[in-house]
Structure 1
Amino acid sequence: MKSGKNYRALCATQFDIPLGGSLVIALVGGGGKTSAAFWLANQFKNQGHCVFVSTTTKMYLPDSYQADNFINLEHNHNQLIPYSHLDLSEPSITFCYKNKIASNNKSDKIKVSGVTPELIDKLKNDSPFTVFIIESDGAKCLPIKAPDRHEPCIPITSDMVIGVTGAEVIHTRAIPERIHRWNIFSALTQCSTGDIIDHRILGNLIEHQQGMFKHAPEQAIKIWLINKIDLAANYSALTQLAHKVISNTAHLDAIWLAAMNSQAPIKNVLTRD
């Protein structure tokens, strides 16, 4: 791997790189994509950017304090984003969605559908937004998953793809009920019920062409975000696993060890030597 790409991946975690043009970040996997999306949005807003947040699948409608602007496309049939009425002269976060979805669960949260990957590709080159953060996958609130045939829905112009996994499932026995798309996950990773989810299984998920980074553009920076490290049974063992994975996989540029709900979420960053 080229050291320049390594450097970009490391700097991206510190948010000190000058951006030429627009940046598209897609989040996939399970275990905290939405928390990561809005943390990233705030980091870029604080850098002076107008940030566009949406989903190419479904996600929960954020609370009013999480975004400065909300765009509802429910009755918009021309596939154009009505941003002309927004004040984008100052840094801001704009959340865009299409339809509210009736939910069968007991949660008070409202799920919404989002936009197409093609619309993000168009907006990247022709809109006042400079950063796009797109939740491109669904996991039914489970900490880990494998993608189905139609998943994930990643914009082809994505500059960075972040695969998220909940740390609470790592180094535990594989239980199908805790893993989204279990049958696919088992086949891709060669994992059987009761196996320990270790560096071998996770490495297979990351490396497989149909695995975590399926549909990720070849040129995109690829980051594995291990979230909820406060729930890990053994942080030292988790760190050792992360070192093994990044040393033995060809697709990863960096691993972030994080607790996205804390004030300083990124606890450690590993990059390839």
Structure 2
Amino acid sequence: MALVDLLALKQHEVVSIVGSGGKTTLLNALAQIYHKQKILMTTTTKIFPPTQDLYQSAILTNTASTSAANGVTLWGIPNVNGKLSAPNLALLKKQLINYDKILIEADGAKRKPLKAWADFEPVVISDTTITIGILPLNICGQKINASLVHRLDIFLALGDFYLGQVINPTVLARVISHPQGLFKGARGRKILLLNRVASPQTKAWAQQVVAALPAQCRADLSLIVGGNFKEQQEWKKYGKTSN
């Protein structure tokens, strides 16, 4: 199925995207899918600015009133590193009612495929109606090290992991299900998105990740999907979930 059909977003949603290995790609993809509606694309952390073809208007200052015409509005504050920082969150929350979909990159991973979460992460605002947690499956088979994992020391403590340990579906299931893991601070419906699922091997790993999740974790998830943005392939629903 198409990802948009599986996600089945309602007319008004506040979507916070957390995790690693595809957050910005998902943010941009959702913005384009719904671009005929009133879409606000923003961050509660920091993001690299999307290319100008991905939005129709931009707000680059903190303002008490933002435009809400049909199309994609980008809102972020330029910083010295060339990224966009979060707008004032109190101002952001006041504008949510004016848009059909608010798409928020609410986490950062320093462009690494895995991460752990400091006390202040992720930044999921209370108005969030869906938290999408994303992880890449093609990381399986590689070894835990500083070049692959953001906040390595915290990551090692998530599951009594160790440097050089081979990343497998059981490791990823622990990252997903740990109270301080992927859905730490999640609000609203929780969706697990397994990215880079394309080959027979990664499809098998996706099944194994889902099987390794504790029953309560699976029950807490509204949806588990797997697929690959780059190949524009059909996305698949995994596992028996509730809600």
Q: Same fold (TM over 0.5)?
A: yes
Is the counterpart of residue 72 in structure 1 residue 56 in structure 2?
A: no
1:235 aligns to what? Answer: 202
Per-residue CA distance 1:96-127 (angstroms, 9 max, x = gap) = 1112332xxxxxxx3121224443432223x2
The change in CA–CA distance for 1:11 and 1:59 in structure 2 (over 3 A counts) is closer
1:255 aligns to what? Answer: 224
Per-residue CA distance 1:142-166 (angstroms, 9 max, x = gap) = 0111111111111111111111112
Unaligned runs of 5+ in 2: none
Deviation at 1:233, TM superposition (A): 8.1
Q: Tell me, what secondary structure is at the counterpart of 2:165? A: coil
1:253/1:272 contact within 8 Å kept: no
Per-residue CA distance 1:64-101 (angstroms, 9 max, x = gap) = 1011111111xx4xx41332xx6x1xx31111111233
For the aligned residue pairs, the C-alpha RMSD in angstroms reads 2.4
Work out which of the residue numbers 83, 100, 104 in structure 2 matches 1:111: 83
Q: Tell me, what secondary structure is at the counterpart of 1:176? A: coil
Q: Tell me, what secondary structure is at the counterpart of 1:225? A: strand
Is the counterpart of residue 41 in structure 1 residue 31 in structure 2?
A: yes
Supply the distance in 2 between the matched residues of 1:258 and 1:143 (Cα, whole angstroms): 16
TM-score (norm 1): 0.78
Q: Tell me, what secondary structure is at the counterpart of 1:134? A: strand
Work out which of the residue numbers 167, 173, 181 in structure 1 matches 2:151: 181
2:137/2:206 contact within 8 Å kept: no
Is the counterpart of residue 23 in structure 1 residue 25 in structure 2?
A: no
1:267 aligns to what? Answer: 235
Q: Tell me, what secondary structure is at the counterpart of 2:167? A: coil
Is the counterpart of residue 81 in structure 1 residue 69 in structure 2?
A: no
Supply the distance in 2 between the matched residues of 1:18 and 1:121 (Cα, whole angstroms): 19
Supply the distance in 1 between the matched residues of 2:149 and 2:155 (Cα, whole angstroms): 8
The change in CA–CA distance for 1:15 and 1:267 in structure 2 (over 3 A counts) is closer
Q: Tell me, what secondary structure is at the counterpart of 1:161? A: strand
Deviation at 1:171, TM superposition (A): 3.6
**Which stretch of the first structure deviates more once superposed, 63-72 or 253-262?**
253-262
Letter in 2 for 1:260: F
Supply the distance in 2 between the matched residues of 1:271 and 1:69 (Cα, whole angstroms): 39
Question: What percentage of residue pairs aligned between the two structures are identical?
Answer: 25
Number of aligned positions between the proteins? 238
Supply the distance in 2 between the matched residues of 1:233 and 1:148 (Cα, whole angstroms): 34
Letter in 2 for 1:208: H
